[in-house]
Structure 1
Amino acid sequence: MTENEAIQKIQEELVKAESKHPFWPTDILHQIAIVNEESGEATRAALQYQYEKGELKEVQTELIQTAAMCIRMLKNLDL
């Protein structure tokens, strides 16, 4: 996957997530918890790929979702 393809997939995932879950918490701890949840799912997918014959595509999917939530959190930081 190229960088541009990755960015496109992340943007698509962000739009999908914002449409499906329009509410985003206002406090930073709940925001980072969402990011960490997605990161944990990426870790699980990587472990399953490495040790349980999981699919590399699942790792990719979870990384895209994690990146989308990172961007969502960055968009909503009130600096």
Structure 2
Amino acid sequence: AQPAVRASELAPAAVPRMTPQPDSRTWRFEARRPGEGGGASVPLTVTASHFSHGLTVFQASVWQPDEAGSAHSGREGVTTFLQGFHFPG
């Protein structure tokens, strides 16, 4: 049987002006969510980044249905989202 959720570690998190931390990480989770109205399940990808700024730890997640676009456009969306964090310099 196929696991309900597949997880893979992508790379250290890369957020502008985050506090450098060796444990910062970005993960990709692939799963299926129930379909609308009891229909067939739908593939779903969640990209979650864990990073810190000062003494505060953040989790930033992007949820994307697989049919929304290619893996390439999904990565671009995640990058754009993470680049949007603005911490004081």
TM-score normalised over the length of structure 2: 0.24
Higher normalized strand content (fraction of residues): 2
Q: TM-score, normalised by structure 1?
A: 0.27
Looking at both structures, which has the greater relative contact order when contacts are Cα pairs under 8 Å and sequence separation is at least 6?
A: 1
- Largest Rg, 1 or 2: 2
